[in-house]
Structure 1
Amino acid sequence: MACNTNASATALTCCSDKTFVQDKVCTPWSGTVVTLATDVLLTVFTNNINQNIVGTGYLQYDVGPADITFDLLNSAGAPMITPITISPGSSLSFTYRRFGSIRLTLPGATLGTYQGEFCITTRYPVQ
């Protein structure tokens, strides 16, 4: 148990310890734009664990014909951040909490195959 002492009181108050789980997942991602003017939406992570999740990781964008965007969505599917643009041959590291999914947008203006790697370490409390 974790305990706190109040300086103005002599009583000691305790609360139960929380147990956290930590998992790491790395996976390659790939997508192909085959129709002009139609963006390809690629979900690389979906939170089906716990609303109080914290995720730390990176998105590596190895090869592709154009820039892509990285977006963080809440559990209702609405954007939580301004989408981040990533160029071929670069990467992005992140730490976010209380999100529903992570999505990439491959631009419909540029045909071709896009590839990279996604890695995330999630932490969440277990009741």
Structure 2
Amino acid sequence: MKKTILTVDDSASIRQMVSFTLKSVGYEVLEAADGDAGLAQAKAKPCDLILTDQNMPGMDGLTLIKTLRALPEYRSKPILMLTTESSDNMKSLGRAAGATGWIVKPFQPQTLIDVARRLLG
């Protein structure tokens, strides 16, 4: 069965790049344009990995992570921040919220594939 990855980003071009990259190696990819839509997607269909931006209208990435971690089905699922935010303080806030890891944009497609494979087996 295909692993399902949800990408949450307000940039359509980033969502398309993430989706194209991960679909090219066999993952099913769902897309959401903000945290609220991402939460709805994650509740509607179980996801094996979630990638979220930080700065989005409505619910931001840290709030999305905290909200997902409160749900039993997402307590231990990997959630990565995929964002331009790279300060140590922001990474610390991400870890405190429950982020599994951090990828800084712009990202290398192969790096994204390698990280997904490592986290999903």
Category of TM-score, reference length = shorter chain: under 0.3
Return the structure number with greater helix share. 2
Which structure is higher in RCO with an 8 Å CA cutoff and minimum separation 6? 1
Q: Which structure has the bigger radius of gyration? A: 1
What TM-score comes out, normalization by structure 2 length? 0.24
